[in-house]
Amino acid sequence: MGGGTNVVLVVADTTRYDDALTAEVAPNITELGNEGTTFTQAISPAPWTLPSHGSLFTGTYPSKHGAHAGHERLEDRYPTLPELFRSAGYDTAGVSGNTWVSQEGGFARGFDEFHQTWQFVQSETAMGELVEVTEESRVRAVGRKLFDGNPLTNAANAVYRTLVRERGDEGAERATDWIENWVGERDGDDPFFLFANYLEPHLEYRPPKRLAERFLPDGVSYAEAMDVPQEPWEYLAGTLELSDRDLTVLRALYRAEIAYLDEHVGRVRDALKAAGEWDDTVFVLVGDHGENLGEHGLMDHQYCLYDTLLHVPLVASGGAFDGRGEDDRLVSLADVAPTLLDAADVPATTARREFQGQSFHPDADAERHEYVFAEYVQPQPSMEALEEHVDDLPAHVYEYDRSLRAVRSSEFKFVRGSDGSRQLYDVVDDPGETNDLVRQRPERADSMETVLDDWLRSFESADTDADVAIEGDRKAQLEQLGYLQ
């Protein structure tokens, strides 16, 4: 068994750095960082959920672990954090509100208990398709899956999804209730590893009215805010125009969603304190990726590697992290796995040989990163999926039909596309990444491209030729989140 330290990893899904680490929006997250450590340069290895969680769980980058738009499942080629903690004698529990982070997606391995908030009765058959575009498609989807597995379980989940689940809550309330019960009722003295994914503030932004009104511009009612279109693919295609006022309203709703998530972070902390576990717990909160809210002509979190999607909040509280304030080291989410193992004094010697991340634990002797990396292995949604969703897809959208890889230092970011595109940004003087310097600074671009190529040659990419079938129910739920298939 490890050193007896509990480890809690909370993922604030779709949460960008500049909105999460303000006391106005997220007082609990900010307080955790003030009491512990706030990492000001945390970079996600991917701009969306599946590959970024794969990196969190395996300590490797998307090309190596193989979970991305070209292979939509985390396979068992590398052990995951819960598997490593359970092997070390830890109790392991996980709760997820995001369908990508699911049993079907390969993320339940190693958990003694894994709770999916979109299900009333936990089952391998996810009846999440019931929030669909049309009533007709909803009925068809239910019919396909009702008798797949246990019909009673599936029927219960269908009723739960249609009649019980709150439309304004993407699972946070159920996740926190489940955590409170699990922490308060667990037996035994073994330390535990607890993971939670909170889907808020993923599109659609439907925060509680009481929170939205705190952030909405003067003169904009909650009802008016709810009428602002939230259609990222139509916005991308240019068939939907949003004014500056509209985008300001969406930003306010997004911030209110983070505020709602922050309330649940406070409840989790309070549950750990009430159970007498807080003083023996290392608590880490991280965003898996950010969000575009009109920047670069984009909404949602696809098709680019700008810092709006890659720069994420990361705070750590407890143990050696306490009282350290801001830490400006460049860190990657691939570094989280070795860091949490260090926090719990879990050796995991064999697994560490495959890690591409390195520990940022205060007692670790790892050198500071000079560079970290990010990958967008394939576009998601594909152009074919967009063509089915958007009538007469404009020609300019096909410019996004490419993979991207980036290398980032504390000062510069170089991005290369499979279409031959090359971009260089000064992320200090131009944090909005509006001025491409690839022609003004060719030597810098070339040197960073060499770093990228050397890194890509340093490991064997996963063989992801085999297709992953995503069937009706899970496919429909992902589509409801904007992941067109």
Pairing state between β 292-293 and 314-317: unpaired
What are the residues whose beta carbons fall under 8 Å from the beta carbon of 309, sequence distance 6 or more?
A: 16, 44, 47, 48, 289, 290, 291, 292, 301
pLDDT band at 171 (very low <50, low <70, confident <90, very high): confident
More confident of the two residues 72 and 141: 72
Neighbours of 91 (CB within 10 A): 20
**Annotation: CATH topology of 6-118+165-369+461-480:** Alkaline Phosphatase, subunit A (3.40.720)
Q: Is the pLDDT of residue 224 over 90?
A: yes
Return the percentage of the chain with pLDDT > 90, whole number: 79
Q: In whole angstroms, what is the distance from residue 146 CA to residue 141 CA?
A: 9
pLDDT at 113: 96
List the structure tokens of 142. Answer: 């239910």
Strand residues in 53-150 grouped as ranges (E): 91-96, 113-116
3-state secondary structure of 129: helix
pLDDT at 235: 95
Q: Is the pLDDT of residue 363 over 80?
A: yes
Mean pLDDT of 22-40: 97
Mean pLDDT of 232-253: 96
Q: Is the pLDDT of residue 90 over 90?
A: yes
The residue to which tokens 């009673």 are assigned: 152
**Inter-residue contact 29 to 262 (CB < 8 Å):** yes
Q: Report the mean per-residue pLDDT for the chain.
A: 89
Return the percentage of the chain with pLDDT > 70, whole number: 84
List the structure tokens of 113. Answer: 């208990």
Q: Name the strand (E) or helix (H) holding 286.
A: strand 281-287
Q: Is the pLDDT of residue 25 over 50?
A: yes
Mean pLDDT of 256-265: 98
Q: Is the pLDDT of residue 165 over 50?
A: no
DSSP label of 71: B
pLDDT at 468: 66
pLDDT at 215: 97
- Span 155-164, pLDDT tens digits: 444 444 444 4
Q: In whole angstroms, what is the distance from residue 34 CA to residue 482 CA?
A: 35
3-state secondary structure of 72: coil
- Span 310-349, pLDDT tens digits: 999 999 999 999 999 999 999 999 999 999 999 999 999 9
- Span 59-70, pLDDT tens digits: 999 999 999 998
Mean pLDDT of 222-235: 96
pLDDT band at 176 (very low <50, low <70, confident <90, very high): very high
Q: Which of 92-101, 159-168, 244-253, 338-347 has the lowest mean pLDDT?
A: 159-168
Peptide bond into 217 cis (omega under 30): no
* Nearest partner of 404 among 28, 3, 51, 97, judged by Cα: 51
* Nearest partner of 49 among 21, 27, 73, judged by Cα: 73
pLDDT at 201: 87
Neighbours of 267 (CB within 10 A): 18
**Inter-residue contact 244 to 220 (CB < 8 Å):** no
